[in-house]
């Protein structure tokens, strides 16, 4: 077990280096010198030179201790990402965004999880009937609607037309009131694909021999579903939950943009629209670290929930 963890942690090193190489190629080699863009159209040569110096665009790319290539690694490993285009520290921006993002995504994620698993159990029980087909078709229909349409329509109808919820997030209002509508929209938009995913998992379980045995013993349907099927279906569910944690931190780009929630999704949106490569670079690296780490945690959880799994 310990050897396995150490080996997996060691395997993270080439992955992290790979991510840094990729971001270097993307933002420095291809993206290139954006000092002109930072300075604006009417900047004189002196200002541009100053900006070039400040952001280190004047340094050699490779082959020097102070090269852009090595600085790229240095910045990442010390978590000193410097300042964004609006002069604020990137690390502060990111830390500030984690809270609002989690406030939005955690209720959304667990709401979707609970609703889709309970529906999936029911649907798996009703398999082959008309209801099963209707629900599957509804799921596919839900998956086929664009996410953006869900958000725009939901915001317009429930917040603007019916005036049940505030349209935008306001810092002086309690967080809960501005979070409810985006959470509900997120659940509605994600329900189709999630329900379908968990239905497949439940169906795999419900066809197995131990379920037939349980029914043959005369157990009630409820007992079989909740005691036997759900417990075995926990394995893919737990893995899925753990793998989702980094994405919960990342927030929801579209929902945060539309409802003005100042989370990491909003930060990403701003970085894209102002072409702020520094923020994008930092976010890419941090998210990659989180995902690599939680993939490892998921594998460990997998073994913890399912004693049949052996570490190689």
Partner 1 sequence: MNNSQPTAVSADQPVKGRSLWADGMRRLRKRRLAMVCFGVVMVYVLLTVLVYLSEAAGWKIPLFDWRQAVGPSYQKPWTVYAWMPEGQTQAQRGWTFFGTDFLGQSTWRKTIYGAKTSITVALFASVISILIGVPLGAAAGYFRGWIDDLIVWLYTTIGTIPGIILIMAFAVVLRSQTFFGVELKGVTAVYVALGLTSWVGICRLIRGEVIKRKESEYVLAARALGCSNGRIIFKHLLPNVFHVIIIDFSLRFVSFIHAEVILSFLGLGETDKPSWGAMIDAARTELARNVWWEMAAATAAIFVLSLALNIFGDALRDCLDPKLRTD
Task: Give me the residues that bind partner 1 (CB under 8 A), please.
Answer: 14-15, 18-19, 21-23, 26-27, 30-31, 127, 136, 140-141, 143-149, 152-153, 156, 160, 200, 203, 246-247, 250, 253-254, 268-269, 272-273, 275, 277, 280, 283-284, 287-288, 291-292, 295
Nearer to partner 1, 160 or 227 (CB): 160
- Angstrom distances, CA of residue 67 to CA of 72, 80, 127, 158, 179: 9, 16, 62, 53, 45
Q: How far is the CB of 218 from partner 1 (least distance, A)?
A: 27
Residue with tokens 């310990």: 2
Nearer to partner 1, 166 or 219 (CB): 166
For the chain, give the number of residues: 312
Nearer to partner 1, 95 or 145 (CB): 145
Q: How far is the CB of 203 from partner 1 (least distance, A)?
A: 6
Q: How far is the CB of 176 from partner 1 (least distance, A)?
A: 25
Nearer to partner 1, 52 or 199 (CB): 199
Q: Taking a C-beta distance cutoff of 8 angstroms, is the pair 80, 159 a contact?
A: no
Q: How far is the CB of 151 from partner 1 (least distance, A)?
A: 10
Q: How far is the CB of 298 from partner 1 (least distance, A)?
A: 13
Kindly give, in sequence order, each residue whose CB lies less than 8 Å from that of residue 267, ignoring residues fewer than 6 positions away.
93, 94, 97, 279, 283
Q: Taking a C-beta distance cutoff of 8 angstroms, is the pair 234, 307 a contact?
A: no
Nearer to partner 1, 118 or 274 (CB): 274
Q: Report the distance separating Cα 39 and Cα 193, nearest Å.
A: 45
CB atoms within 10 A of CB 140: 12
To 5 degrees, how large is the angle CA 7–CA 3–CA 6? 40
């Amino acid at each position: 077990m310990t050897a396995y963890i150490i080996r997996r942690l060691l395997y993270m090193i080439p992955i992290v280096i790979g991510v840094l190489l990729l971001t270097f190629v993307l933002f420095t080699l291809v993206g290139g010198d954006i000092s002109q863009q930072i300075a604006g159209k009417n900047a004189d040569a002196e200002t541009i030179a100053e900006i070039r110096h400040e952001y280190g665009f004047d340094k050699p790319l490779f082959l020097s201790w102070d090269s852009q290539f090595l600085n790229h690694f240095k910045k990442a490993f010390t978590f000193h990402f410097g300042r964004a285009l609006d002069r604020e520290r990137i690390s502060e921006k990111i830390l500030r965004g984690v809270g609002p993002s989690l406030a939005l995504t955690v209720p959304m994620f667990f709401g979707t999880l609970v609703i889709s698993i309970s529906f999936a159990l029911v649907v798996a029980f009703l398999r082959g009937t008309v209801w099963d087909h209707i629900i599957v078709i509804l799921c596919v229909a839900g998956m086929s609607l664009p996410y953006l349409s869900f958000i725009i329509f939901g915001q317009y109808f429930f917040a603007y037309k019916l005036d049940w919820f505030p349209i935008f997030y306001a810092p002086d209002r309690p967080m809960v009131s501005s979070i409810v509508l985006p959470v509900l929209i997120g659940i509605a938009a994600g329900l189709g694909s999630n329900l379908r995913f968990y239905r497949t998992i439940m169906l795999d379980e419900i066809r197995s021999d131990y379920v037939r045995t349980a029914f043959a013993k005369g157990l009630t349907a409820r007992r079989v579903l909740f005691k036997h099927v759900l417990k075995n279906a926990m394995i893919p569910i737990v893995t899925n939950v753990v793998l989702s944690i980094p994405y919960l931190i990342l927030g929801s780009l579209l929902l945060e943009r539309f409802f003005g929630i100042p989370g990491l999704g909003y930060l990403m949106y701003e970085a894209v629209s102002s072409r702020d490569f520094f923020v994008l670079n930092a976010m890419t690296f941090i998210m990659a670290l989180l995902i690599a780490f939680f993939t490892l945690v998921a594998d460990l959880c997998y073994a913890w929930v399912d004693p049949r799994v052996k570490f190689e």
